[in-house]
Structure 1
Amino acid sequence: MTVRFETIDVDGLKVFYRTAGDPDAPVVLLLHGFPSASHMFRDLIPELAGRYHVVAPDLPGFGMTEQPARDAFAYTFDNIARVVVRFTEVLGLERFAIYVFDYGAPVGFRLALAHPDRVSAIVSQNGNTYLEGLSDAWAPIKAYWNEPTEGNRDALRGFLTPQTTLFQYNHGVSDPASVSPDGRNLDDFYLARPGNDEIQLDLLGDYKTNIALYDDIQAYLRDTRPPVLAIWGRNDPFFIPAGAEAYRRDVPDAEVRFVDSGHFALETHAREIGTAMRDFLAKHLH
């Protein structure tokens, strides 16, 4: 299995992505979250590439994808989703399963709302789209939504520190020594780039648009009934288990599973999640 590391022009934006597997096999699109990039899938891609064509882009402002200035590119989830839609079109990906995690969920579900015919299945790994899935840890971010003052914006800068990245990786993990430092160190490197802090604060502020979209996403799930696997780290401090269980309300046949991990569950359970995904996708894509 060979992983390729490519960069493609998407309407003038250079988008980096990882890809592996037979290009003629069913496609699985992996969408990462905050503050990470496609490197979070380094252990999952080998689990899938034997049967699937796996594609994992870095979102604009993350990882190796170009980071345009804020006055040249609006860092909103609507705009990032538009880039991802065009990315799939430029690559010629006509139909694919999506794996959504954290920020990847509002991006992936916007894609599904715009082009429901293109999405063959959904795997949500701590990818929330229900109010009950939001923990109390969102309180300072909600304060910024309600009052977008400079003071409330500055109060969110703590989310961008190495201490918070470490917390996101290790919280809820039974053995922190089992979590490689590689992922979080890369995340901290990208967060420290000039101007990236303001980009991330823009996105934290814009996250309120994702909450506003929940009703539309849930209606899409009810009306379209795509195959859904919700497989979550049960100890996630941000997206709690109720958010996974809620998928069954709109897709009664949804598979809901938990692994004993935290937010970045792939760091400790890539093999288990990969096995669950192969079983799930085999039922629905072949």
Structure 2
Amino acid sequence: MTAAVFHRRVDVGGVGIFYREAGPPDAPVLLLPHGYPCSSFEFRNLLPRLGDRWRLLAPDYPGMGYSDTPERFDYSFDGYAKLLYGFVRALGIERFALYLHDFGSPIGARLAIMKPERILAQIIQNGDIPYEDALGDKYAEIEKSWSLPEPEMCAEIGKAISEEVFREEFLNDVRADLVPRIPPDLWKLHWSLITPRRREIAIDLIAGLKANRSWFGEHRRYLREQSPPTLIVWGSQDFYMPEKSARAYLRDLPDADLHLLDGGHWLLETNLEEVAALMRDFLDRTLR
């Protein structure tokens, strides 16, 4: 089944936010925070596949995609979480499920910790995990810069903000036969939206991964204590977050549904139909 996708804007605390929407306005809501270096564009194919039954909302963060880039804004995981809360309030939404992928995971999880009573369920897809011992080998490349003084660390991070590195991030070492499924629009579009100010924002956000490590315990405690209904759908060809990263969630969410797919970090490009089918089954059982 397919549903129409609408492209809208809303003011959230004086910031113009672009978002994509599909589904009946009175249907249960699935909030889709995007990853890096992406935008709501990553959900363009998922929205019409689930919008017949649920209301899907995919906003662009400030400083990314087609949203504004205000000079005064807290461009951090905490700041984006507060923005997401302002976004759902602006649309009059009380409760919702969350899709947690890439940087959208620590951002969406912060929102869940802030307002646990609003969270109906979560779908975790190759998110940035809160388990230090279950990170992939490639994550060590990020950690290397953490021992440097902050100006040098930021300079090192800045080298990774280029069109070529964006391409590498989207391909993420998937098998050669999967590469043709990943459209160059992903890196071409998102690189075209980078400005000098947005480059600074990206550097600060990536640098924030170091401080984010101290927040892992709070995230794990939320999972244990709140135990939201959870679907874990994971591309095992992810060298930042491999199979062991997905399984680590079972330490705190032993009742979660775990599905390992033969794909990479950007499963909605390589395994869309499988993911949509698993989500449809999970949402049917959870959002009643």
TM-score under structure 2 length normalisation: 0.94
2:138 partner SS:
helix
CA distance in 2: counterparts of 1:259 and 1:283, whole angstroms? 21
The question of 1:11 aligning with 2:30 is answered no
Kept in 2: contact 1:41–1:266 (CA 8 A): yes
Distance 1:152 1:74 in 2: 20
One-letter code aligned to 1:102? D
Query: 40, 51, 54: which one pairs with 1:52?
Result: 54
Instruction: Specify which of 269, 281, 288 is matched with residue 279 of structure 1.
Output: 281
Offset, 1:140: 4.2
2:90 is matched by which residue type in structure 1?
A: V
Q: 1:180 aligns with which of 175, 178, 183?
A: 183
Q: Distance in 2 between matches of 1:122 and 1:131?
A: 21
2:146 corresponding residue in structure 1:
145
Report the Cα distance in structure 2 between the residues aligned to 1:282 and 1:100, rounded to whole angstroms. 18
Do the aligned residues in 2 keep the contact of 1:140 with 1:155 (CA within 8 Å)?
no
Aligned to 2:119: 119
Aligned-pair RMSD on alpha carbons? 1.4
Secondary structure (helix, strand or coil) at the match of 1:34 reads: coil
Shift of 1:18: 0.5
CA distance in 1: counterparts of 2:140 and 2:151, whole angstroms: 16
In structure 1, stretches of 5+ residues that fail to align are none
Secondary structure of the residue aligned to 1:8 is: strand
* Distance (Å, rounded) in 1 between the aligned partners of 2:4 and 2:223: 35
The 3-state SS of whatever aligns with 2:224 is helix
Q: Which amino acid aligns with 1:213?
A: W
Letter in 1 for 2:278: A
**1:230 deviation in Å?**
1.1
Contact 1:105 1:129 in 2 (8 A): no
SS where residue 136 of structure 1 aligns? coil
Q: For 1:236-281, what per-residue CA distance to the aligned partner results, in whole angstroms no more than 9, with x for missing partners?
A: 1211221211111111111111222221111111111111001011
Question: Percent sequence identity over matched residues?
Answer: 37
Match runs of 1:198-217 below 5 Å: 198-217=200-219
Give how far 1:210 is off.
2.5
2:30 equivalent in structure 1: 28
Shift of 1:151: 2.4
Distance 1:274 1:148, change over 3 A: farther
Aligned counterparts of 2:214 and 2:285: Cα–Cα separation in 1: 33
Report the count of equivalent residues.
283
Evaluate the alpha carbon distance shift between residue 31 and residue 133 of structure 1 in structure 2; reply closer, same or farther with a 3 A threshold: farther
Q: How many Å separate the matches in 1 of 2:14 and 2:284?
A: 36
Name the stretch that deviates more: 110-119 or 210-219: 210-219
Determine the C-alpha separation between the residues in 1 that align with 2:31 and 2:252: 23
Match of 1:169 in 2: 170
Could you say which residue in structure 1 is the equivalent of 2:40?
38
Any idea what the Cα deviations from partners look like across 1:5-41, whole Å, max 9, x if unmatched? Answer: 1111111011110011011111000111100000000
